[in-house]
Chain A
Amino acid sequence: MPNVLSVENLSKKYGDTIAVDGISFDVERNEIVGLLGPNGAGKTTTINMVLSVLEPTSGSIHIEGIDVARQRSQALDCTNFAAVYAPLPGNLTVYQNLHVFGLIYGVRHLPDRIESVLEQFELRRFRNFKSGVLSSGEQTRLCLAKALLNQPQLLLLDEPTASLDPATARDIRTKIREFAMRGLCGVLWTSHNMYEVEHVCDRVLFLSHGKILLEGDPKTLPREHGKSTLEELFIAVAREPLALERV
Chain B
Amino acid sequence: MSLNRTFAIVLRQFYLVRGSPARVLPLFAWVGIDMVLWGFITRYLNAVSSAGFDFVPVLLGAVLLWDFFTRVMHGVTIAFMEDVWSRNFLNLFATPLAISDYVAGLVVSSIGTSSVGLIVMLFLASAIFGLSFVSYGVAIIPFLLVLFLFGVALGIVGAAIVLRFGPATEWFIWPIPALVSPFAGVFYPLATLPTWMQYFSRIVPPSYVFENVRAIISGHPPSVNALIWSVVLAVIYVLLACWVFTGVYRHSVRTGLVARYSAETVS
Please give the residue numbers on chain A whose beta carbons come within 8 Å of chain B beta carbons, in ascending order: 14, 44-45, 48, 51-55, 72-74, 76-77, 81, 83, 85-93, 96, 99-101, 103-106, 146
Check if A73 sits within 8 Å of B96, measured CB to CB: yes
Complex contact A92–B98 (CB within 8 A): no
Report whether B86 and A76 are in contact in the complex, using a CB–CB cutoff of 8 Å: no
> Which of A52, A103, A104 has the most C-beta atoms of chain B within 10 angstroms of its own C-beta?
A104
Q: Which of B2, B86, B95, B258 has the most CB of A within 10 A?
A: B95
- The reply to whether A104 and B95 contact each other, CB–CB distance below 8 Å, is yes
Contacts of A146 in B (CB 8 A): 91
**Residues in chain B within 8 A of chain A (CB atoms):** 2, 4-5, 7-8, 11-12, 15-16, 19-20, 82-83, 85-98, 250, 253-256, 258-259
CB-based contact A100/B11 at 8 Å: yes
Measured between beta carbons, the chain A residues less than 8 angstroms from B4 are: 103-104, 106
A selection of 19 A-B contacts at a CB cut-off of 8 Å is A44-B259, A48-B256, A48-B259, A54-B253, A54-B256, A54-B258, A73-B96, A76-B94, A77-B96, A87-B87, A100-B11, A101-B95, A103-B4, A103-B5, A104-B5, A104-B95, A104-B96, A106-B2, A106-B96
Q: Measured between C-beta atoms, what is the minimum distance from A154 to chain B in Å?
A: 12
> A91 touching B96 by the CB < 8 A rule?
no
Are B253 and A55 in contact, with the CB atoms below 8 A? Answer: yes
Contact of B86 among A44, A52, A90 (CB under 8 A): A90
B90: contacting residue among A53, A76, A90, CB under 8 A: A53
| Chain A residue contacts of B8, Cβ below 8 A | 100-101, 103-104
Tell me whether A86 and B96 are in contact (CB under 8 A): no
Q: Is the CB of B256 within 8 A of A76?
A: no
The 7 closest A-B pairs by CB, nearest first: A103-B8, A89-B86, A51-B94, A73-B96, A76-B96, A48-B259, A55-B254
